[in-house]
Amino acid sequence: MEDESSTISEQAALVPQQDVHPSDHHQASSEAPLLNNNNNNNNNNAEDMAEAGLSTISTAAAAATTPPPVTTPRSLEMDEWNRTIQSLQRASLIAAHALIIVLLVLMAKWVSQLGGLPSSLRETGNAKLVFNWHPLLMILAFCFMTISSLSFRYHRYFGHYYWHQQQQQQQRTTVKLLHGIGWAVATVCMTVGLVAVFFSHNDRASGFIANLYSLHSWVGIAVLLLYLVQFLVGVGTFTPLLLSGGIFGNATISAASKAKILQIHAFFGPILYISMMLTILLGIQEKEGFIGCGYKVVDNKPDMVPFQHFSKIPAVCKQSHAVGFCILAMGLCTMFTLHQMDKPKYRQHAE
């Protein structure tokens, strides 16, 4: 999702810059051709390291020549505001994980009200119960997507408790691994959840039901396909598997190519997360339509104050409403936590 782009930028900020002078940069630039001439036989990894090193020197030199920002009352106010925002994002991170637990409890109760779960997806004559696996697994996948997406914010808000500066590379590897595992589990949940729909709709004993006729199903298939592409590209590019160099030959991908792929990967991550959330909400609405959540208006009077008839809404529909609101709240907390509030362009307006 919003992957390690923010992590990379934070680590770059830790590079010592006070000892770099423009003359040092000029010297490094003049020595670069000599280094290239002496290392013509170096492999691609060495070239990538050289490019990265020159890029770091150039960035550090540019930062050294940039005058420090002028401290003004407005900038101080902005600093205080940013600290407040970070505290709110930390609270939002905790709230998102707490909502996962609440959501799983609500889902257990809702599935129970819908009749429970069969022992097998292939159970015949019980299509409605087989279908119950679908919403359960899709929402479980969304929970793992949430954990996976927020994994790149753990070090920012809680890193000082269990991570140290000298463990940055290990930190990145751990976060990448957690991110990839979360999306992998979500992929399995979504795949099995989709299979449950086809099994329940194609059960001869229960009667055949049409497939892929609703907006929810069309949007769901599109989101799943995009999700699989995003997942495979992420695993093949950014996950160094043991002794294999990555599924797609990770060791042969240059640093420049990874940076380009990372831009697209980071863009589509939040889009897929929001799309998944909206698709689930569409599915809940469709399920409520099948159940019949409306009530009969009596006394030949318009229903001008619907909250007075709240008790007439079926309990199973109230439960699905609670599930939907919990999903929406969890998605909002996640997106708020992931958003980078301290971008330089925001600060420019305060100076």
Q: Is 60 domain-assigned?
A: no
| 278 within some domain | yes
Residue type at 230 in one-letter notation = Q
Q: What percent of the chain has pLDDT over 70?
A: 71
pLDDT tens, residue by residue, 220-235 = 999 999 999 999 988 8
Give the model confidence (pLDDT) of 116-161 as tens digits.
999 889 999 999 999 999 999 999 999 999 999 999 888 777 765 5
Is residue 146, in this structure, part of any structural domain at all? yes
Looking up residue 263, the CATH number of its domain turns out to be 1.20.120.1770
**Residue 303 maps to a domain:** no
Q: Is residue 15 part of a domain?
A: yes
Q: Give 301-342 pLDDT, tens digit per residue.
A: 898 888 888 999 999 999 999 999 999 999 999 999 999 887
Q: What is the pLDDT of residue 48?
A: 44
* Domain range for 13: 5-19+75-292+309-348
Closest CA to 201 of 138, 259, 131: 131
Query: Taking residues 343-349, what's their average pLDDT?
Result: 70
Residue 43, in any domain of the structure: no
pLDDT for res 171: 73
In sequence order, the 6+-apart residues with CB closer than 8 A to the CB of 208 are: 201, 202
The domain tally of the chain equals 1
Tokens representing 80?
């205080």
- Predicted confidence band at 177 (pLDDT cuts at 50, 70, 90)? confident
Q: What is the mean pLDDT of the chain?
A: 79
pLDDT digit string (tens) for 42-66? 444 444 444 444 344 444 454 556 5
Is 133 a member of any domain? Answer: yes
Band (pLDDT 50/70/90 cuts) for residue 81 is confident
The predicted structure's pLDDT at residue 65? 60
CA distance 203 to 197: 10
DSSP states of 242-259 as a string?
TTT-TTTTGGGS-HHHHH
Helix (H, G, I), strand (E, B) or coil at 94: helix
pTM for this entry? 0.74
Choose between 292 and 152: higher pLDDT.
292
The answer to the question of residue 137 being in a domain is yes
